[in-house]
Amino acid sequence: MIYDYDLFVIGAGPGGLAAAKQAAHYGARVAIAEANHLGGTCANMGCIPKKLMVYAADFGHLAEASKGYGWSGEQPHFSWTKFVKARDQAIERFRQSHERSLTKLGIRLIRDRAQFIDAHTLEVGEQKITADHILIAVGGHASKPDIPGIEHAVTSKEMFHLPQLPKKIAIIGGGYIGVEFASALHAFGTDVFLMSHEHCILNGFDPAISTAIHKGFTDRGIQVACNTTAEEIIQTDRGLQLILSGDSADITVDLVLCAIGRTPNLENLGLEQVGVEIDQRAIAVDAHSRTSQPNIFAVGDCTDRKQLTPVALSEGRAFADTTFGDYAWTVDYDSVPSAICCRPEAASVGVTEPEAQTQLGDAVRCYQSEFQPLFHSLSGQNEKALIKLIVNGEDDRVIGIHIVGDHAAEILQGFALAMKQGITKQELDRAIGIHPSSGEELFSIR
């Protein structure tokens, strides 16, 4: 049978765009459907605008630190309105760049929703389109807990469109999304109350990272409450009152942010029409991103794998290389680096200490260094950095790296690759670092 396209992609987020472009490079006839903005959550309501927000928040911190270096003058004033305008202009440029690249590669962009009719046929707006291969890359959306009054809370999506910054905010969720917003908003002058139902914030990261970020937040004046959940939100004349569990007293705030995780966007896709298997509210896929239907694939946050932008990108490229380039490969999920864009910043790759102990028992060796970065020797700010290595004592391989401090993510990038290639602790010990730098501490932990 002759199809309209070799590949039809549903969703123009990081994974969908990467797959479409890679397949087009191989000469495939490609179309992509996107009812919203190009770039998906990451570019429009996630990591890109959030990182710009973090950068904006840094300037007040830097202005204060500059006094120790001999600078003086009035404290700068931050305008949320000016920042939002500049941010939105930058994001629009990113969208236009994506559209130009699709046009250049001959990829047809259809700005509408797509729904399955059968395994090879989609209804896109008022059109019926057929494709040999179909890739689902529809991403996810922020979840909310089922508690009374939750309709008064916003999610990360609405946070980027606030007309003004709140004076006081409560954040439900101690994962990386909640932590990142807590950090930036506090730097803008918002009174922040961050709660986690877990025994710590950033549960799932190495305990050294969780502890260091918690302490850093407390030192800055961010209120952190663990083993705490919101049982009800009540709208009052004074604001939004949160009825809290545990030992925390009820609080009243201007805004409540719900940051408890994300749910795949699977509604109205017609997956039941084609028998695509769903597991735990996500699309079940194999190592090559294939669903239960042989010609239908899925990548990114709508699947049951890691929900990270670089992972979606790699999954999209791996799918295209394998399907259209005769170059079969799969994504390695065991060595995916990640970062928490808060202050202090954190980055991590590989196993945590508890995970390593479960896997290796007494063979685990941990090395940790806590130090003051050179920058803060004059900043007047009591900032500490932390570097932790997890090592398999049986063969000396480094199996986990965890960093807290300025530029943690940039420092980790190269070391993540080295770890994936099997670098040992002895090889790190014999390497020569750049001095003076925080990264050189990785070569001298004993």
Tell me which residues are annotated as active site.
435
Question: Angle formed by the axes of helices 176-187 and 47-66, to 10°?
Answer: 40
- Per-residue exposure over 238-255, b if at least 16 CB sit within 10 Å of its own CB, e if not: ebbbbebeeebeebebbb
DSSP for residue 421:
T
Contact between 442 and 413 (Cβ < 8 Å): no
Q: How far apart, in whole angstroms, are the C-alpha atoms of residue 435 and residue 441?
A: 10
- Per-residue exposure over 345-362, b if at least 16 CB sit within 10 Å of its own CB, e if not: bbbbbbbbbebbeeebee
Six-digit token string for 16? 């969908």
Q: Which backbone phi and psi does 358 adopt, to 5 degrees?
A: -65, -40
Question: Angle formed by the axes of helices 207-220 and 176-187, to 10°?
Answer: 20
Q: Which residue has the tokens 């070569």?
A: 443
Contact between 52 and 87 (Cβ < 8 Å): yes
Pairing of strands 5-10, 223-225: unpaired
Q: 161 burial class (0-12, 13-18, 19+ CB within 10 angstroms)?
A: exposed
Residue 63 Cα to chain centre, angstroms:
28
Residues with Cβ within 8 Å of 60's Cβ and at least 6 positions away in sequence, in order, are 75, 76, 78, 187, 188
Pairing of strands 278-279, 262-264: unpaired
Six-digit token string for 322? 């394998």
Q: How far apart, in whole angstroms, are the C-alpha atoms of residue 273 and residue 217?
A: 49
Residue 124 Cα to chain centre, angstroms:
30
Task: Give the neighbor-by-neighbor strand order of the sheet with 230-236.
Answer: 230-236, 239-244, 251-253
Rounded to a whole number, what is the distance in angstroms from the first to the last CA of the chain? 64
Six-digit token string for 392? 């398999």
Question: Angle formed by the axes of helices 14-25 and 80-104, to 10°?
Answer: 30
